[in-house]
Structure 1
Amino acid sequence: MNALFFISQIIGTVSISAILILALAKLFSRRWRGQAEPARSRGYAVLVTGCDSGFGHHLARSLDLRGFVVFAGCLCPDGDGARSLTLQSSSNLKILKLDVTSDEDVQQAKKTVQENLPEKGLWAVVNNAGISHWAEIEWSTIEDFRSTVDVNLFGCIRTSIAFLPLVRASKGRMVYVSSVFAFFNCLNLGAYSVSKRGLEAFADCLRVEMASFGVKVSIIQPGNFCQATNILKLKTGSDIWEKLDSERRQIFSRQYIELATEYFLSTCRAGCEDAGPVVDAMLHAVTSARPKRRYLLVSAVDRVFFQLFPFLPTVLTDAVFSLSSMYATRTQMLHAK
């Protein structure tokens, strides 16, 4: 019995190794053979969600300058962001009312896109719309989690399912804006991390399925770009304190909440103010003959750390946080008599 089990394990290991070798051989053969250039921008359309501001706003303008027909999905089609896009872009850019949490909006957007498609069809969908909720988990409600996941995860799924037939027809691209916080957990971003980790799981599954149809799927993973977007909802310590019940007020002191709020906001203020690196990655994912599966957008100093982090044992990744003075202070304050 043991011998048979051992032999089966060896056979299984050999089979897995053979599969990996074949996959690598196929990958490198494709790379050495080269790939056809993607279709030129003329005659193709791209749909971008979340164009009211931030990355989506800049991307829509960049795609318009490159000759694409751009469907710019905006939550507020009559807002300042949408008006700015209209004024600064060509007639090839069309504003769509698009709340990604609304089935009706998504279906109406699909109808509008189909009625206005250029000759070559829909080349790409860039799922950029997103919101941020920051608070420790015990400061959050189920509604905080639900609203964040509804936009960041289900909004992308809803939009993807609707537009995949059009992208599949052109053998185009699906692009998803995630975050390093999809795999790097930290204080205050529980709901956001849950939504982005789910998004990456969805995109990874989709990439494997769409490979059969020639559709490429890319994930954009920005680091701290809070200063370059309007994704951060400003809160004060008072805002958080007023939402806590008496039980949690006994655990989390007002002093600690004020300290944690300032620490989080100061971290955000230290973020990159230039949206350029993220927009450039999006453009590469849409237009390159060989788009990357993932675009990790952090500083050169942070790159090695973030590339290694997902592969480290949990005991080590958890230990990383003990090196932070903020976590040490948190422990002291929450255990103080």
Structure 2
Amino acid sequence: MFMCTFGAALIVVAVVVAGNFLLRRRIVSSDGKAVLITGCDRGFGYMLAVQLSKLGYRVFAACYDATGEGATKLRETSSFIVVVQLDVTSDKQVEEARRFVESELDGDGLWAVVNNAGIGAFAEAEWCSLSAYQTVMNVNWMGTVRVTKSFLPLVRTTRGRIINIASLAGRIALPGFTAYSSTKFAVVGFSDSLRREMFKFGVKVITIEPSLYKTAISNEEALTRQNAKMWGETSQEVRHEYGDTYFRAYLAKLATILRYSSEKIHEVVDDLTHAVTSSHPYTRYVPALFTNQLPSDGFAASPNHFQDFVLGTIFKVPETPACLSAERLDEQKAL
């Protein structure tokens, strides 16, 4: 009896999984559909613009520098790509881009908005400058909100979709990623809330949550320069408490972590493409399923003390801050 019930349950699960798989494979026609993508100067945005243009979508490729190399190459790639000047931190440029796209659509709506523009700041909280926090938040979160609010009426017209690039660092907070993780947690929260608001309109809101990939955000030289600048500008007290030895060890540890960034950028672009083209997209994508999504979902569900131990071990800087050194502690005790 038990075996029969167990066998029937397995059959039901297999049917549900197979049905879901087939349902997700159904794609919409690209005919007459337009997509806006931010951050197309390079990386995921650039590659997605090219990919969707090949599939017949009209792509408004929003670039931080519409006269730059990436924008120029996009113009030469396909007649389906229209380059748009857009700094997502500028209310004026967002409004101008909205008016331009609306005029180009001539009464039609947007099928999708992909909020891809993003920057990184990987530094420990005490020497990560307030200006760095503000800049990263303004691009990664406020940029997403700003663009979404402006273009959402055009997406509601088509019952289309908003696709926001978040990060696994927006589900699992990482030491040394305080500013970046904060912005991505904000993107996840905004997306989840918006998805539930937009349900009544038939608009889908989707997050793409990659781990580290070899893009400009994970460029070791740029992040080293950024940290050195912030370290030089932080207070004498903080630099005294941590010490130059600890700071250099932190940079070495960060470099080691960044070297594990995946080169399989196509995994993210493939998920973005599926989110745009599928008739029944997932609400959340984590490239890739077996190496990132399943392990990270299990880890995120584990107790905080276990997460703290594991992440504290992986990200541990192999030096002690100066204020915790034996010599300094002895000095403090003597006082």
Per the TM superposition, whether the score is higher than 0.5 is yes
Match of 1:181 among 152, 169, 182: 169
Kindly state the Cα deviation for residue 266 of structure 1 after the two structures are TM-superposed.
2.2
Match of 2:215 among 224, 228, 232: 228
| 8 Å CA contact 1:77, 1:96 repeated in 2 | yes
Distance 1:33 1:188 in 2: 41
Partner SS for 1:100:
coil
Distance 1:280 1:171 in 2: 22
* One-letter amino acid of the counterpart of residue 244, structure 1: T
Aligned to 1:251: 241
Kindly state the Cα deviation for residue 270 of structure 1 after the two structures are TM-superposed.
2.1
1:282 and 2:282 matched: no
Match of 2:72 among 73, 83, 87: 83
| 8 Å CA contact 2:98, 2:151 repeated in 1 | yes
* One-letter amino acid of the counterpart of residue 60, structure 1: A
| 8 Å CA contact 1:220, 1:296 repeated in 2 | yes
Partner SS for 1:116:
helix
* One-letter amino acid of the counterpart of residue 272, structure 1: S
Distance 1:104 1:240 in 2: 30
1:295 and 2:282 matched: no
Partner SS for 2:286:
strand
| 8 Å CA contact 2:242, 2:321 repeated in 1 | no
Aligned to 2:231: 241
Kindly state the Cα deviation for residue 303 of structure 1 after the two structures are TM-superposed.
3.7
| 8 Å CA contact 1:43, 1:119 repeated in 2 | no
1:65 and 2:54 matched: yes
* One-letter amino acid of the counterpart of residue 96, structure 2: Q
TM-score (norm 1): 0.84
Kindly state the Cα deviation for residue 109 of structure 1 after the two structures are TM-superposed.
0.6
Kindly state the Cα deviation for residue 304 of structure 1 after the two structures are TM-superposed.
3.3
| 8 Å CA contact 1:64, 1:93 repeated in 2 | yes
Distance 2:234 2:47 in 1: 38
Distance 2:209 2:228 in 1: 32
* One-letter amino acid of the counterpart of residue 95, structure 2: Q
| 8 Å CA contact 1:76, 1:82 repeated in 2 | yes
1:116 and 2:104 matched: yes
Q: Deviations over 1:146-181 (max 9, x none)?
A: 111000001100100111111011011110001110
TM-score (norm 2): 0.85
Aligned to 2:36: 47
| 8 Å CA contact 2:27, 2:277 repeated in 1 | yes
Match of 2:261 among 254, 266, 271: 271
Match of 2:297 among 299, 307, 310: 307
Distance 1:317 1:302 in 2: 16
**Kindly tell me: are residues 121 and 138 of structure 1, through their superposed partners in 2, closer, same or farther at Cα, counting changes over 3 Å?**
same
Q: Deviations over 1:277-335 (max 9, x none)?
A: 000000010111111111112473444331112222222221223433x5273457652
Distance 2:73 2:317 in 1: 46
Distance 1:327 1:36 in 2: 42
| 8 Å CA contact 2:249, 2:318 repeated in 1 | no
Q: Deviations over 1:64-101 (max 9, x none)?
A: 1111110000000000110111112x222101000111
Unpaired segments ≥5 residues, structure 1: 1-26
Query: How many aligned positions are there?
Result: 307
* One-letter amino acid of the counterpart of residue 83, structure 1: T
Distance 1:331 1:117 in 2: 58
**Kindly tell me: are residues 255 and 122 of structure 1, through their superposed partners in 2, closer, same or farther at Cα, counting changes over 3 Å?**
same
- Superposed CA RMSD in Å reads 2.5
| 8 Å CA contact 2:245, 2:319 repeated in 1 | no
Distance 1:184 1:309 in 2: 9
Kindly state the Cα deviation for residue 231 of structure 1 after the two structures are TM-superposed.
5.6
Distance 2:21 2:76 in 1: 44
**Kindly tell me: are residues 41 and 244 of structure 1, through their superposed partners in 2, closer, same or farther at Cα, counting changes over 3 Å?**
same
Aligned to 2:190: 202
Kindly state the Cα deviation for residue 135 of structure 1 after the two structures are TM-superposed.
0.8
* One-letter amino acid of the counterpart of residue 92, structure 1: F
Kindly state the Cα deviation for residue 201 of structure 1 after the two structures are TM-superposed.
0.3
Aligned to 1:168: 156
**Kindly tell me: are residues 269 and 334 of structure 1, through their superposed partners in 2, closer, same or farther at Cα, counting changes over 3 Å?**
farther
Identity %: 34
Distance 2:168 2:24 in 1: 29
| 8 Å CA contact 2:38, 2:45 repeated in 1 | yes
Unpaired segments ≥5 residues, structure 2: 1-15, 328-335
